[in-house]
Amino acid sequence: MTDLVTRPVPAPTDTLRRAAPALVGYAAVRALGLVVLAVWSAARGTSPHTLLSARWDALWYSRVAALGYGYEVRLPNGDVHSNLAFFPLLPWLERLGSALTPLSYADAGLAVSTLASLAAAWGILAVADHVYGRRVGVCAVLVWAVLPVGIVQSMAYSESLFTALAAWALYAVLRERWVSAGVLASLAGLTRPVGAAVVAAVWVAAIHSAVRDRGTPPAERPPRASVRRVLGMLLAPVGAAGYVLWVGHRTGRGPLGYLDVQAGWRNGFDGGYAFARFAAARFTSLASVPAGVGLVAGIALIVWLYVVCVRQGQPVPLLVYAGVVTALALGAASYFGSKPRLLMPAFPLLLPLARALARGRPSRSAAVLGGVAVASAVYGAFWLNGSGPP
């Protein structure tokens, strides 16, 4: 396992100055996506504001903020879509934002997502800078910004909030700030079910740290390191476990209650069996073969990136986190069109690409990122004005 590194903590002004180029570049990419969405929506007679704040999952989150839990929709086929499927941190922040400002719940969700996306970009920079240096960190932020589903970072969805919490939790792990890591992991667990990936990263890193400290003389260990490490491990799963147990109590099904809620959405984890069948079905007709080839190529790219991450010696907490996020996204039993969005928080997979860009000439890297940013903006506008949801 790559050793966790403790470095001097820079002053806040130095930290902001170091992050500024990445944050400005990130904001420029997101602004481009919003401008293209506005132009595309104007041509189609749709509302970009509605597409970003009051459609699909965003609508469910704002309903939780407005009505609390207990709202459900019964479909003609007997399925029950309950808002208990949606974890509470984003709705809580929407309610708080609406209470403190004139914003509606939906607009508060947009504000939270906007701020969280900047925090996520900064967290990704912090992690990549800590492991590989500032130039790779800037490139990692920009690669994350220009993902084909990057428009989701500007929606009232929970991906930006979750990625921000996960990235800073991983940074805290790399710096062995165990209590901070545990608190952030707990908050990530209140945001999305995939918070389990952050908990796993904290636990693996803490166990490795404890094993390493066994060979270190007591006088050379940081004071109260064991206490802070154990406290971080105990705090990490509190958010996710607390919500799942609360849902189980509310539904009367105990620990299985949340799984029942997900079953009502025809969602769950089957190890990728349903997704494999979905991919195979793309090859049953000539018209859908290109989509099947693209799907297989996308999965192969994800697997290849993870293998490269391992070969490049990424710190194990990052590998554990990215591996769990990827496994949960690809192993989910439904919502196949949403898998690119579900993979978006797995930012460590992008670090090999960021390293390659950082090694190239700045002009060439800028041209590549600029071209991909334009393509991503166009695709995002097409996606939100098309079939959706992302």
Which two structure tokens, joined as six digits, stand for 53? 């704040």
Helix (H) or strand (E) run with residue 95 in it: helix 89-100
Which two structure tokens, joined as six digits, stand for 162? 């979750």
In a domain, 376, yes or no: yes
Would you state the pLDDT for residue 214?
74
In a domain, 220, yes or no: yes
- Contact at 8 Å (CB) between 86 and 57? yes
Alpha-carbon span 333 to 342, nearest angstrom: 13
Q: pLDDT exceeding 90 applies to what percent of the chain?
A: 68
Average pLDDT over residues 43-48: 93
Would you state the pLDDT for residue 227?
86
In a domain, 389, yes or no: no
In a domain, 130, yes or no: yes
In a domain, 2, yes or no: no
Would you state the pLDDT for residue 181?
97
Out of 23-37, 189-203, 275-289, 375-389, least confident range? 275-289
Convert the pLDDT of each residue in 279-322 to its tens digit.
787 788 777 788 788 888 888 999 999 999 999 999 999 999 99
Would you state the pLDDT for residue 316?
95
Convert the pLDDT of each residue in 164-206 to its tens digit.
999 999 999 999 999 999 999 999 999 999 999 999 999 999 9
Count structural domains, the chain: 1
The domain in which residue 25 lies consists of 16-384
Instruction: List the one residue out of 20, 309, 5, 10 whose CA is nearest residue 172.
Output: 5
pTM of the model: 0.92
Would you state the pLDDT for residue 10?
56
Would you state the pLDDT for residue 25?
95
- Tally the residues of the chain: 390
In a domain, 151, yes or no: yes
Would you state the pLDDT for residue 24?
95
In a domain, 126, yes or no: yes
In a domain, 180, yes or no: yes
